[in-house]
Chain A
Amino acid sequence: MKKEGTKSNSFELKNKITLFVTMFAAYFVPVLILSILVSLSFESADAFNKFGFFRFITTSTWDPVKQIFGGAAPIYGTVVTTVLSLIFAAPVSIGIAIFITQICPKKIKGIISGAIELLASIPSIIYGMWGLFVLAPIMSNYIEPFLQKTIGKLPLVGIIFKGTPIGIDLLTASLILSIMIIPFITSVARDSFELVPDNLIESAYGIGSTKWEVIKNIVLPYSKTGMYGGMILGIGRAIGETMAVAFVLGNKHEIVLSLLGASSTIPVTLANEFTEADSKIYMSSLFYLALILFVSSFVILAIAKYMILRTNKNG
């Protein structure tokens, strides 16, 4: 009897240890997120005190010699590449999701889905290198001159295609980003299309709708929230992408209206200048940019997850 008692005591102790250890490991994640926030804020305090918030994000001067730093140029570059990449990627991704769920034969469904998802496993540095050596020359020799000759001739709109096409520019960077985020948007859109109840689709066919009418009037409206969630997830992915963009954007702290100009994004600035920063305020300004990037990507991702979660509950 006594022996039994000690055994169950040791079980209880071991159970408690396991509980404690696993709990400790689980709390690593919230602690980590909090410490990223705290340490980045702490490191960027100098820059925040010197330049403030609105002045920092609206000043485009980035002058390590005079020690004046403003984040407007990389922020502008981040916004332009992110928005453009979404404009390129969203229609394609939704088209692919429609193809996978509504059009393609069941047999090759898995293969196409899987192949598109493979795009997400290719490391970003490969996208960057491929962009620099393969895509950039194609852009500067064929696509960009073509755009200049056609859309570039139009009044007002023409300004976005001004300049010498060198291929190392906002347009190429956005195109590469768009390829990278296609798998993410596609997979969310595909999942939400699959949640559309079959009887809804069948009844639409029953009253004589064509395939496109079913997609346009039933499938797309039904999975609207999920689709937008996927797009926002794409934004959240594109905004923090470093290596793919670092190769093909140059690193120029200037706000250029033309999409054919070199520019910079927050991650690219960090990647290029972090090890070169030679003064305290320079370093602090870089941390400030990192903090802005962290908070905005976190908020965007949270919105995306919330929307995706909501569609799954509906279904």
Chain B
Amino acid sequence: MDNLKKRELVSKIFIFISTFTAILGLFWLVFILSDLLIKGAASINWSLFVDDFVPPGLPGGGMKPAFIGQLIIVSIAVLIGIPIGLLGGTYIAEYGRNSKSAKFISMLSDLATSIPSIVVGTFVYAVVVKPMGHFSALAGSFALAIIMIPVMLKTTENMLKLVPWNLREAAFALGTPYYKVIFQIVYKSALTGLLTGTILSIARIAGETAPLLFTSLNNSFLSCNLTQPMASLTVTIYRYAMGPYDNWHTMAWAASFVITAFILILTIISRILVKWRYSKNG
């Protein structure tokens, strides 16, 4: 009897520890997000979005060039990355379904989603920035696209594989060529999934800093020239947070809040989409 009590006590202790670790995990999340909310949301004001940078040490100013730059860099990355990822995933799930090379590519993409982003930055520096002779927004977009492609490819593959095979067979039986089956039937029934993949890939790159450090670099002025260095929100946050001025820190917190809120909202939307689409139809 004593032994039994001891075993139960040990069990209770470990259950307590395990519960405690879960609380610890949630604690970090709440800790970080609440700091962002307190320090960031409180210091958001209109001038953050509409005012230009001011020289170091002067009061006022905003981050307009960084917001515009971020929008341009990410949009171009999306324009390059999404189509390539989508088509590549289509090949792996459709034409290459049973081939060994497609399986190999799928595995490689899985690994590629975790390549250190700073390595991608050095690579783009070597193949784009160096031959061009200077830093450019395009190089930054290219770096982000590289990070995005494997993510989009894997999600596309998984989503297309969820489409039942007999749906395709039904179309084949009517004499429909494969490309039409893909574009008009498979894509249509996997639409929510593909949208989720797109949102997730954007969320994945929107907060990246390391690959932009030496590709799009930075710019103290508003620039829309793709072949020149361009300020991005993340690199600006890094510069401002590491700087010695208090008003820089406040602005960095505010910008961080904006970017994190954007990414978390995207992530949560994509999760709701998946839940809504795939729990309804089994």
In the complex formed, the residue of B with least CB distance to A16 is B179
User: In the docked arrangement, what's the CA distance between A112 and B25, Å?
Assistant: 9
Question: From residue A75, how far is it (CB to closest CB) to chain B in Å?
Answer: 14
Is B174 in the interface zone, CB < 8 Å from A? no
- Residues of chain B within 8 A of A124, CB atoms compared: 207, 209-210
Main SS at interface, chain A? helix
In the complex formed, the residue of B with least CB distance to A277 is B214
Instruction: List 10 tightest A-B contacts by C-beta distance, closest first.
Output: A240-B116, A123-B207, A95-B21, A22-B91, A25-B87, A210-B11, A212-B11, A25-B88, A18-B179, A26-B88
User: In the docked arrangement, what's the CA distance between A284 and B177, Å?
Assistant: 52
- State whether A95 and B32 are in contact (beta carbons under 8 Å apart), knowing that A18-B178, A274-B213, A305-B110 are contacts in the complex: no
User: In the docked arrangement, what's the CA distance between A92 and B22, Å?
Assistant: 8
Contact present for A112 and B115 (CB under 8 Å): no
B45-53, B188-196, B257-265 - interface stretch: B257-265
Question: From residue A31, how far is it (CB to closest CB) to chain B in Å?
Answer: 10
Is B237 in the interface zone, CB < 8 Å from A? yes
Binding site for A on B (CB under 8 A): 7-8, 10-11, 13-15, 17-22, 24-26, 28-29, 31-33, 35-36, 39, 83-92, 94-96, 102, 104-105, 107-112, 114-123, 125-127, 146, 149-150, 153, 177-180, 182-183, 203, 206-210, 213-214, 217, 234, 237-238, 241-242, 249, 252-253, 256, 259-260, 263-264, 267, 271
Contact present for B125 and A242 (CB under 8 Å): no
A side interface size, CB within 8 A: 90
Q: Of residues 85 to 142 in A, which have CB atoms within 8 Å of B's CB atoms?
A: 91-96, 98-100, 102-104, 112, 114-116, 118-119, 121-130, 132-134
User: In the docked arrangement, what's the CA distance between A233 and B203, Å?
Assistant: 21
Choose from A27, A271, A286 the contact partner of B213 (Cβ within 8 Å): A271
Contact present for B22 and A99 (CB under 8 Å): yes
Contact present for A213 and B11 (CB under 8 Å): yes
Binding site for B on A (CB under 8 A): 11-12, 14-15, 17-19, 21-30, 32-33, 35-36, 39-40, 42-43, 91-96, 98-100, 102-104, 112, 114-116, 118-119, 121-130, 132-134, 179, 182, 186, 210-213, 215-216, 233, 236-237, 239-243, 246-247, 267, 270-271, 274-275, 286-287, 290, 293-294, 297-298, 301-302, 305
Choose from A18, A19, A96, A243 the contact partner of B21 (Cβ within 8 Å): A96
